């Protein structure tokens, strides 16, 4: 099966200092799925973006993340932070479930 890029809409991007579990959480809505991706960082200066979502196989998807470190020489608090991106994907683009989502970091 050739890989297919899946369109998505970013709903929110949050940064928090309270402990959160890293990973992916899915919530099914009527016509779409909300996907929450949380990642832990050693300081607040990091940025996280979603490059694309690829369908690897039927019902199996990979979210390609880009992690941007803080600028060199930046003065930052030394506190663990958590970035969470909430996206929405129309079920039309996913096909019939069940769905499996994984993420991969690609900074190229």
In the chain, the DSSP E strands lie at 4-6, 9-16, 23-28, 32-41, 47-57, 60-68, 81-90, 100-105
pLDDT band of residue 74 (cuts 50, 70, 90) is confident
pLDDT band of residue 96 (cuts 50, 70, 90) is confident
Which one is predicted more confidently, 1 or 96?
A: 96
Q: Which of 27, 39, 40, 32 is nearest to 9 (CA)?
A: 32
Count how many Cα atoms sit within 13 Å of the Cα of residue 31 in the half-sphere of its side chain.
2
Domain boundaries, the chain: 4-105
Structure tokens at 84: 């969470």
Q: In Å, how far are 15, 57, 77, 106, 107 from 47, measured between CA atoms?
A: 9, 29, 15, 13, 12
pLDDT digits (tens, 9 = 90+) for 29-63: 889 999 999 999 999 999 999 999 999 998 999 99
CA distance 29 to 21: 22
């Amino acid at each position: 099966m050739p890989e297919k890029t899946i369109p998505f809409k970013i709903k929110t991007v949050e940064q928090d200092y309270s402990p959160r579990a890293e990973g992916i959480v899915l919530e099914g809505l009527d016509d779409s799925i909300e996907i929450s991706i949380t990642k832990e960082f050693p300081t607040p200066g990091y940025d996280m973006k979603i490059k694309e979502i690829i369908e690897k196989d039927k019902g199996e998807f990979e979210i390609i993340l880009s992690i941007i470190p803080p600028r060199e020489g930046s003065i930052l608090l030394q506190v663990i932070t958590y970035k969470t991106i909430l996206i929405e994907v129309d079920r039309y683009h996913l096909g019939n479930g069940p769905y499996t989502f994984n993420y991969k970091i690609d900074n190229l």
